Structure 1
Amino acid sequence: MVWPSIALLTFVTLQRLAELLHARRNTAALLAQGAREIAPEHYPYMVAMHAAWLVGLWLLAADRPVSLIWFLVFMVLQSLRVWVLATLKGRWTTRIIVLPSAALVTRGPYRFLSHPNYAVVIGEIAVLPLAFGLPLFALIFSLLNAAILTIRIRAENAALKQVVA
């Protein structure tokens, strides 16, 4: 039965596209308020990695069955994603955008983690391929994601430290 795989991949694709539009609007609004982008040089690599992950899933997983257990884990991650988006509202972007006049967000999932969105993405990059029985794919993209997030989190933490100081 192929339709569950196609439905899940379609959901993730549409979700990512909608998030890019949401992030673009938020980025423009933040920049208009005097925010600035930090460390944009890594951003194209992050986009390329995420696009390759999604295209790879379409190529390798569209005709594979979906594991119910991994699907449920993925759905828990989606609820956490919604929590992050709802907490950050207009401050959520896919870029590192710092608004000097704004206080750091310390409510919602930010009470528990400094970077809950990245925790969700780490989970998604691994869990969705595992839902399709693709452990090597999950490992490869988890390693690529770890490399990008290492650069990104260092840059973001340094930028946020300047804002708080």
Structure 2
Amino acid sequence: MVNAFFWGVMLILICQRLGELILAKVNYRYMINRGAVEFGAKHYPLFILLHGAWMFCWILEVLNGKAGVSSSWGVWVTFILLAQFLRYWCIASLGRCWNTRVLILPGEPRIRRGPYRYWRHPNYLAVCIEVFCLPMLFSAWKTAAVFSVLNGLLLLYIRLPVENHALQSLKQ
């Protein structure tokens, strides 16, 4: 059964994503004005399409099914909150360099603060957790499964190779 909690979560998520896209656009202009080079621009629309389709399918699955708040809601909320913490730690750690695109400032060192001290791509862990756990919070397991696989394939075979190539151009 769809309830105010579902629509509240969806509204928060949409506002959050729109805010992140605005921040990414502001940071994009800042970085380009400083001489940044973009890598992998051609695959960027795939991410927009994937995340838009994920939300659409999640809504459809909840509206068309018997999906409601999962009996394991506490587990899903815990993982979602951890993912949110990690996401905003990544954004804060990268500062004006954070973006939804792959931008590199030639000659600049790689950022190694925050979660980037421990892992090259911590933001993608947060995204993977969200893509799976948010639909699972409402028992939308088909959306969680299909889009976790699609997101994983896009990351492993397209985005991460592009980012790793871009990072190799930085001072270590």
TM-score w.r.t. length of structure 1 = 0.93
- Provide the rounded CA distance (Å) in 2 between the counterparts of 1:92 and 1:61: 32
SS in structure 1 at match of 2:120: coil
- Provide the rounded CA distance (Å) in 2 between the counterparts of 1:99 and 1:58: 39
- Provide the rounded CA distance (Å) in 1 between the counterparts of 2:126 and 2:83: 6
- Provide the rounded CA distance (Å) in 2 between the counterparts of 1:124 and 1:89: 22
**The one of 129, 144, 148 aligned to 1:138:** 144
- Provide the rounded CA distance (Å) in 2 between the counterparts of 1:156 and 1:142: 20
- Contact kept? 1:125, 1:138, Cα under 8 Å: yes
The match for 1:7 is: 8
**What is the number of equivalent residue pairs in this alignment?**
165
The match for 2:163 is: 156
The match for 1:64 is: 68
Gapped regions of structure 2 (runs ≥ 5):
none
- Provide the rounded CA distance (Å) in 1 between the counterparts of 2:62 and 2:84: 19
User: Aligned letter for 1:77?
Assistant: A
Seq. identity, %? 33
User: Aligned letter for 2:38?
Assistant: E
User: Aligned letter for 1:158?
Assistant: H
TM-score w.r.t. length of structure 2 = 0.90
Shift of 1:72: 2.2
Deviation per CA, 1:105-147, whole angstroms, max 9, x where unpaired? 1110011111000111111111111111122211100111012
Deviation per CA, 1:3-51, whole angstroms, max 9, x where unpaired? 1111111111110010000001101110010001101111111110011
The match for 2:97 is: 91
- Provide the rounded CA distance (Å) in 1 between the counterparts of 2:76 and 2:24: 27
RMSD of equivalent CA atoms: 1.6
The match for 2:118 is: 112
